[in-house]
Amino acid sequence: MNLRLRVLPQFGHKRLQDVERVDLQRFVDRLVADGMAAPTVMTTLLPLRAIYRRAVARGEVKDNPTRGLEMPAIRRNIRVIPSPEAAEALLAALDGDDRILWATAIYSGLRRGELTALRWEDVDLAQGVIRVRRGWDQVEGEIAPKSREGRRNVPIPAPLRDALLEHRMATGDNGDIRVFRSASMVAKAVHRARKVWRAADLEPITLHEARHTYASFMIAAGVNAKALQTFMGHANIAVTLDLYSHLMPGTEAEAAGLLEAFLARSAGVDLLAQGDDDRRESHEHPRD
């Protein structure tokens, strides 16, 4: 859609080798000046980047003009990130399909469109992964992921696996069936949940904030930034770091503590190994 609506009207009349980096930079700058959000600017350039990567690999062009562009920084205000205990309380207040939907959002980090399009054939409970293979557009319906990175495998933690297993038994075992019964059901989920949570005196969250909650849990659990980028389906690690670097260990005291713990563990392993060698030598060459 980005290629058809935005890129082709600007560059469709040109040959690939005639498009220069300065042309693309002016295009990016114009999108920003027109008020386009930074994430949308990045996704607009994704198809063009893919075209040029392929053209360079095939020797059709010598240079990739999409490299080195100055892109707008992605800055988003993350309003609510509930603690694990608060997340459990939010889920406990819900029931039925809504509880499963929000559990999937909080414990897998899928986008709303990915939740809408999720089929049972994408959920591998035996292997413990959700295979994200499609998204959802309000106009076009089911669509392919917007980027190569959007197609990914996401691990299923035990609380989510149990909930999905129960839900699958209740809805049937047909792989073509979507996990959540309709796009309307997902679209109105925030409205329904907000009413329940406010009645229970709980701080409401959105599905997008549930996605941020998943990221914060993964960081707290020790998942590294590159793995998190993969699980979140971000186009590049810069997006992940821009959004979540403030949640990652980074102060001098934290860094020193991590290094000291690593060195202590390494020293302990070395001492154990030395002790084993001494005992082995004593056994092989006993003293008279």
CATH number at 157 reads 1.10.443.10
Please report how many Cα atoms fall inside a 13 Å half-sphere around the Cα of residue 170, on the Cβ side.
12
Residue 72 inside a domain? The answer is no
Mean pLDDT, the chain cut into blocks of 10 residues (288 residues total): 77 89 91 81 85 90 88 66 94 95 97 95 95 88 85 95 91 78 93 96 94 93 91 86 76 66 71 56 54
Q: How far is 195 from 209, CA to CA, in rounded Å?
A: 17
Q: Which pLDDT score, from 0 to 100, does residue 278 have?
A: 58
Query: pTM of this prediction?
Result: 0.65
Q: Which pLDDT score, from 0 to 100, does residue 125 have?
A: 94
Residue 69 inside a domain? The answer is no
Q: Which pLDDT score, from 0 to 100, does residue 99 have?
A: 96
Residue 52 inside a domain? The answer is yes
Q: Which pLDDT score, from 0 to 100, does residue 198 have?
A: 96
Same-domain pairing of 135 and 276: no
Q: Which pLDDT score, from 0 to 100, does residue 258 have?
A: 66
In total, how many domains does the chain have? 3
Same-domain pairing of 135 and 106: yes
Same-domain pairing of 134 and 260: no
Residue 66 neighbours by CB under 8 Å, 6+ apart: 21, 24, 45, 48, 49, 52
Same-domain pairing of 191 and 273: no
- What is the domain range of residue 260? 253-288
Same-domain pairing of 213 and 160: yes
Q: Which pLDDT score, from 0 to 100, does residue 263 have?
A: 82
Q: How far is 16 from 177, CA to CA, in rounded Å?
A: 42
Q: Which pLDDT score, from 0 to 100, does residue 113 have?
A: 94
Same-domain pairing of 103 and 219: yes
Same-domain pairing of 136 and 121: yes
Residue 77 inside a domain? The answer is no
Q: How far is 107 from 251, CA to CA, in rounded Å?
A: 27
Residue 42 inside a domain? The answer is yes
Same-domain pairing of 260 and 242: no
Which amino acid would we find at residue 35? G
Same-domain pairing of 226 and 98: yes
Same-domain pairing of 188 and 272: no
Same-domain pairing of 167 and 238: yes
Q: How far is 240 from 260, CA to CA, in rounded Å?
A: 27
Same-domain pairing of 45 and 113: no
Residue 63 inside a domain? The answer is no
Residue 184 inside a domain? The answer is yes
Cα angle 48-229-175, degrees, rounded to a multiple of 5: 85
Which stretches does DSSP call E strand in 138-185?
Answer: 141-143, 152-155
Q: Which pLDDT score, from 0 to 100, does residue 187 have?
A: 93
Q: How far is 32 from 46, CA to CA, in rounded Å?
A: 16
Domain-terminating residue out of 57, 73, 94: 57
Residue 145 inside a domain? The answer is yes
